[in-house]
Amino acid sequence: MIFIIKVTTNKEDRAFELISDKIHKKKLNVYSLARPHGLRGYIFLEAEDRDSAEEAAYNLPYVKGIIGKTVSYEEVKNMLEPVMEEINIEKGDIVEIIGEPFKKEKAKVVRIDKSKGEAVVTLLAAVVPIPVTVKLDNIKVIRREKEEEKSSEEQQDLKTQEEAVPLGSENSDMEDDDDEDSSSQGGLLIPDDY
């Protein structure tokens, strides 16, 4: 049975240590104790029965009490088991740093170390490119290098299409205009009063 122990917020680590010490000293029938990352004000305790859970948490600082309802492992599984998120950052990506000390700075990814969960980036605003190592969860992708290449290739294609005008279309119109202008001036390109 898994019990939820209510503790003082931001004192979860200290309450966890006190409960753990009490369990070891009194050799209580408690199988596990968990303090999930990101869950504030609560600790999970797996025990044989309610009496063991209450004795483990009774009369300790920072412990407010045990919530009456027990929970199953399936209900708290997502908080206890770490889930590896797929890292979607690649070399050459333009990223924004969302963690201190370079918060809101834009940078280019130079290298990624997925095993350590880190990326080496160079700040775009810096005059001299200095490599900075940041955690992957402290950066977000703004622009992909592949997308940038595609868009620049598309723009290049459009420019070449605009430049490549068929010979029989606009040029012949321009020649006709020139003929009309020259005939109205008497066929001379030099003005009469020159």
What confidence tens digit (pLDDT) does each residue in 52-93 have?
899 999 999 999 989 888 888 888 887 777 665 566 777 777
Judgement on whether residues 151 and 88 belong to the same structural domain of the protein: yes
The answer to whether residue 46 sits within a structural domain is yes
Distance CA 15, CA 43 (A): 9
Judgement on whether residues 128 and 88 belong to the same structural domain of the protein: yes
Distance CA 139, CA 95 (A): 6
Distance CA 172, CA 193 (A): 31
Q: How far is CA 119 from CA 65, 66, 88, 96, in A?
A: 43, 42, 12, 12
Q: 128 is in which domain, residue-wise?
A: 84-164
Distance CA 34, CA 3 (A): 10
Judgement on whether residues 68 and 23 belong to the same structural domain of the protein: yes
Owner of token pair 């939820």: 4
**Distance from first CA to last CA of the chain, Å, rounded?**
109
pLDDT band at 123 (very low <50, low <70, confident <90, very high): confident
Domain boundary among 46, 80, 114: 80
- Helix 12-26, helix 50-57: angle, nearest 10: 120
Judgement on whether residues 48 and 89 belong to the same structural domain of the protein: no
pLDDT score at 110: 85
- Mean pLDDT for 4-28 is 92
Name the residue with higher pLDDT: 18 or 79: 18
pLDDT at residue 152 greater than cutoff 90? no
Identify the CATH number of the domain in which residue 91 sits. 2.30.30.30
pTM of this structure: 0.46
Judgement on whether residues 47 and 108 belong to the same structural domain of the protein: no
The answer to whether residue 12 sits within a structural domain is yes
Q: What is the DSSP string of 42-67?
A: EEEEEESSHHHHHHHHTT-TTEEEE-
pLDDT score at 92: 78
Domain boundary among 48, 80, 112: 80
pLDDT band at 128 (very low <50, low <70, confident <90, very high): confident
- When divided into structural domains, the chain yields a total of 2
- Mean pLDDT for 139-152 is 62
User: Per the structure block, which two tokens stand in for 99?
Assistant: 């963690």
pLDDT at residue 31 greater than cutoff 60? yes
Residue 138 DSSP one-character state: G
pLDDT score at 16: 93
Q: How far is CA 95 from CA 126, 147, 194, in A?
A: 14, 14, 65
Judgement on whether residues 74 and 90 belong to the same structural domain of the protein: no
Count CB-CB contacts under 10 A for residue 74.
7
pLDDT score at 191: 62
pLDDT score at 138: 73
Identify the CATH number of the domain in which residue 18 sits. 3.30.70.940
Contact in structure between 69 and 83 (CB atoms under 8 Å): no
